[in-house]
Amino acid sequence: MIVNRRKFLLSSLCASGAIALAKQQAMAAAADVTGIANAFKDDFFVGTAISKTRMMTPPDGFHDLVAREFNAMTMENDMKWERLHPEPDTYHWDIADTFVDFCEQHGMFAVGHVLVWHSQTPRWVFNHPDGTPLSRSDLLARMKNHIDTVAGRYKGRIQAWDVVNEAIDEDKGWRKSPWFNQIGADFVDHAFQYARAAAPEAHLLYNDYNMHNPGKRQFVVEMVERFKKNGTPIDGIGMQGHIGLGYPDIQEFEKSIEAYAATGCAVHITELDLDVLPVAWEHMGAEISDNFAYSDELNPYAEGLPDDVQQQLTERYVEWFKLFLKHRNKIARVTFWGTGDGESWKNGFPVRGRTNYPLLFDRDYQRKPAYDAVTSLKK
């Protein structure tokens, strides 16, 4: 039985009206197209992340492809603090404004990424001009001002916000970031409260990687339960989908989908890509400070992806989309972290200079066999 997405999201204990309204708009806009979003229109949003270059100076036909294929979109980097608010009294709005205009023009579910994160945040945010750390109250005031300004500017225009990103370590509790060290664990509570006040209709998310990890899963569930008890607003949990041919354990990922949905929150699969290259580390994650030395051994497909690996990628994507369809009554959105292989961050992370193939469109923005196999699940 096909689950009515609008009915589910309206009845979700944590859902706001933003998703339901945006779904109606996106479905209307997608009536005459045949992209992947249209294939899954009764199940969940299908989105992409877009870079500054692709937003502002796209190759011919790129914007048309994005509008045809997707009904949700996220700025990859240019709504992060260091890009949007690089100096205390300086905001750069042009890229974010263009992004929001594009989403409105095409009836897309706009995701703001991200309000509070330890990374890609200027040092001045946490310090006085002389370099000494701000007090708890001063840093909270700085956080509130940023959220009020950014989320407030797009009130009613951005349907979802990644309010806090990657605040939890692996099985170690809170990440010891400046936010935590200078404010305390309740910095997360304050961020969500500020976001709700600034953008009352938006869907508010906590987003993190390795969300299949049992220790992180339990910590997140307990965090959400505490939020609900204390009245802290949260609408969704973002599970970053940085996967590979052999990781993570899909059964553990499924357990997390079920556990997060059981809190009453909608689940969002965010930042989805599929790394086909040799693993360069033992710890699988998305910590952007990690980087490894280049070697030819770690870059075996520089001249193209062999047919057998292409087939493995296809089968792996099908496996994951079967999981997403199985839990479509819990999942609000599936967003790829990029559109074509050539623009993916996985070409340079965790080893610079590699050639990777993690998405459903190739470097010429042609549909790959994985695209056809995934969309065929709905035929």
Residues involved in catalysis: 271
Nearest of 325, 304, 317, 326 to residue 369 by alpha carbon: 317
Q: Which whole-number Å values give the CA distances from 45 to 102, 194, 297, in the listed order?
A: 17, 26, 37
Supply 54's token pair.
Answer: 């692709």
336 touches 48 (CB < 8 A): yes
* Dihedral Cα 364, 369, 371, 373, nearest 10 deg: 170
- Rounded to a whole number of angstroms, the distance between the first and last alpha carbons of the chain is 14
Q: What is the SS3 string spanning the chain?
A: CCCCHHHHHHHCCCCCHHHHHHHHHHHHHCCCCCCHHHHCCCCCEEEEEECHHHHHCCCCCHHHHHHHHCCEEEECCCCCHHHHCCECCECCCHHHHHHHHHHHHCCCEEEEEEEEECCCCCHHHCECCCCCECCHHHHHHHHHHHHHHHHHHCCCCCCEEEEEECCECCCCCECCCHHHHHHCCCHHHHHHHHHHHHCCCCEEEEEECCCCCHHHHHHHHHHHHHHHHHCCCCCEEEEEEEEECCCCCHHHHHHHHHHHHHCCCEEEEEEEEEECCCCCCCCCCCCCCCCECCCHHHCCCCCCCCHHHHHHHHHHHHHHHHHHHHCCCCEEEEEECCCEHHHCHHHCCCECCCCCCCCCECCCCCECHHHHHHHHHHC
